[in-house]
Amino acid sequence: MTDATRVVAVMAADQPVPERLTLLIAALRQSGVDVAPLALPASALAPPRDAAPSLSELKRGLTDFVGDVLEGLRGGVGQQSAPAPAMSEPTIEDRLRAVTGKVDAVVATESAIARAAFDAAETVWPSAVKVAVDGDFHLDPAWAMVTYDDLVVPHPGVAESADRVSRGVARVRAGGPIVSEGNAKTLPSGKPQVVVSFARLEPGDVDQLLFQISLAHPENFELLFLPSGRANIDELVSSRAAGYGLQGRRTKSGRATDPWIRGASLLAGHPSPRESALAVTAKVPQLIYQTARLTSGDEFLVRHGVALHAQIPITVAVHVEGLLPGGADRGRVEASLAELDTAGVGGAAAAVVGAALDGRPTPGVSTNATIDAGDDDLEVIGGPSSAAASRPTAIPMSMRRAYLKEIILRQNQVKKSLTSAHGGVATWERRVQLAQTSGNHELAAKAAQRVDGLKRVLARLQEDYAALSVLRERFASKAPISESDRALATRFIAPERANQLDRGVAPDTAFTRLELDDALQKLKDKMFGG
């Protein structure tokens, strides 16, 4: 098929092909794309190094030198043969040029490979689209060092921190997550299955997690521990579980864990990005136990309601009970999982094809008006005057709903912060009184400064909450939205997300739950005079 889209998929030689690239290649070929896998030498992929050689390299060099000397002595003076001329290893560009025929796109799922291959592709195939495919919800920070044209992620919100996307020099496309498909496995007892991951858990947190799980009535569910890939962690789990009265199972070395995650009622602990992506695809709620600050990927899952965050150990048992079938949090998280649409590996393949068909992106300048016919070298920054900004404008219902969803999400976050701020003020006011009662005026003064600071934070949060309430009312109604309304909304939404909404990138997903919540809140306000 001569007109078929042709894609070169790059990977490292002498290394196993990454699972997500294998799945992507299969999906591309199934959709009729001509895929040419290309293995690049690891030595060419490694960045040039100016540092001094390591001790092991010096030892290896000395050993080679001694061997050469002994070989020369054995051969006698004048008998040593001349060394064979060194063969230069092919460069990445040489490897790319070896691919014959047209190339529409170059695809990579690993940032280290893409960084080198995409730079070379710019020279060899200047018209080919360079597509970076990140297969889960935890965007690899190293993509920031890659010059790509398109970034494929499971949800546009994952790309909020992507510099090239936010600057408008690259496109973002929704596709994935890229995880394997298959059957679900459950234990024969019929009880809910709690699968615990220690993939990113620190050794000091293992005991805390096991203890809290023991408080969540483990007799009511089955426990299955996933191997972490770290011997010290797995040995710690094996030796400590019985001490907390826990009995669970763990897959044997080399056995697939995916079916057990698919069959789980809950994935708890600190899963790997791949485990989290698999759980989202299988619509399995997650409980992330992490005392430090969450990574952007974990924070994304928590912000979108498909996972709960247990930041302190004492909340783990409560969250486990709340997320199991019949628990207080179960329905809410299941609704969020249904709302977070995922396209799977087929969607990722379609995104790659779309990028190839669209060609290289051309960063453009948005000009809404001209200043003067003679000033054609000037661009317009900003919008019309404040009077014009107050005029109502019509926006599509899908975009209106997307804005409403983001406003409600932000309002819920501010509400939680308000609760924390109120608690902080009460705590530090009590400490001021305690210090004054004890006669420690210096300590009381320091505590009073903390109270003042918290009250300023509280006042700002109250202002934000009031503004968000007004915006929520406007976007939830059928009244026209003014430019100033939209500008105010973008103040509370991440700039990248606001840009996506304005471009209509946000998918028209089901907003039924949010609309019902909004209507229910209005009904409560009328009934109770709130």
Q: Do 301 and 450 belong together in one domain?
A: no
Q: Using CA atoms, how far apart are residues 40 and 96, in angstroms rounded to an integer? A: 9
Q: Do 32 and 113 belong together in one domain?
A: yes
Domain-located, residue 64: no
Q: Using CA atoms, how far apart are residues 134 and 152, in angstroms rounded to an integer? A: 6
Domain-located, residue 160: yes
Instruction: Please state the rounded mean pLDDT for residues 181-210.
Output: 94
Domain-located, residue 353: no
pLDDT above 50 (res 390): no
- The CATH number assigned to the domain holding 332 equals 3.40.50.2000
pLDDT tens figures, 36-80: 999 998 666 655 444 445 555 555 555 665 566 556 555 544 444
pLDDT tens figures, 485-514: 766 776 666 545 555 555 555 444 434 455
Which of 174, 206, 231 lies at the terminal end of a domain, its last residue?
174
CA distances for 484 relative to 61, 71, 407, 414, 488, angstroms: 69, 83, 15, 21, 6
- The CATH number assigned to the domain holding 158 equals 3.40.50.11460
DSSP state of 391: S
Q: Do 246 and 149 belong together in one domain?
A: no
DSSP state of 15: S
Q: Which residues contact 276 (CB under 8 A, 6 or more apart)?
A: 136, 137, 138, 267, 286, 297, 298, 301, 307
Into how many domains does the chain fold? 3
Q: Do 98 and 23 belong together in one domain?
A: yes
Q: Using CA atoms, how far apart are residues 301 and 317, in angstroms rounded to an integer? A: 20
Domain-located, residue 185: no
Handedness of CA 507, 347, 329, 318 (dihedral sign): negative
Q: With b meaning 16 or more CB within 10 Å and e meaning fewer, what string describes 308-325? A: bbbeebebbbbbbbbbbe
Q: Do 400 and 463 belong together in one domain?
A: yes
pLDDT above 50 (res 250): yes
How does residue 361 score in pLDDT terms, banded at 50, 70 and 90? Answer: confident
Q: Do 320 and 423 belong together in one domain?
A: no
Q: Do 22 and 102 belong together in one domain?
A: yes
> If DSSP states are collapsed to H, E and C, what string results for 87-148?
CCCCCHHHHHHCCCCCCCEEEECCHHHHHHHHHHHHHHCCCCEEEEECCCCCCCHHHHHCCC
Give percent of the chain above pLDDT 70: 75
CB 268, CB 196: distance < 8 Å: yes
Please name every residue paired with 173 in a beta bridge, in sequence order, or none if there are none. 152
Three-state SS for 469? helix
Instruction: Please state the rounded mean pLDDT for residues 83-102.
Output: 78
pLDDT above 60 (res 370): no
Which of 320, 339, 358 lies at the terminal end of a domain, its last residue?
339
Q: Do 381 and 502 belong together in one domain?
A: yes
Which pTM does this prediction carry?
0.63
pLDDT tens figures, 146-168: 999 999 999 988 988 888 988 88
Domain-located, residue 397: yes
CB 155, CB 190: distance < 8 Å: no
Which residue, 230, 233, 225, 228, is CA-closest to 203?
233
pLDDT tens figures, 305-340: 999 999 988 899 999 999 999 999 999 999 999 988
Q: Using CA atoms, how far apart are residues 520 and 512, in angstroms rounded to an integer? A: 12
Give CA 435 to chain center in angstroms: 45
Domain-located, residue 53: no
The more confidently predicted of residues 314 and 279 is: 279
User: What was the pLDDT predicted at 389?
Assistant: 44
Q: Do 170 and 205 belong together in one domain?
A: no
- Domain of 440, in residue numbers: 370-528
Which of 339, 361, 388 lies at the terminal end of a domain, its last residue?
339
Handedness of CA 452, 456, 459, 465 (dihedral sign): negative
Q: Do 146 and 266 belong together in one domain?
A: no
User: What was the pLDDT predicted at 84?
Assistant: 53
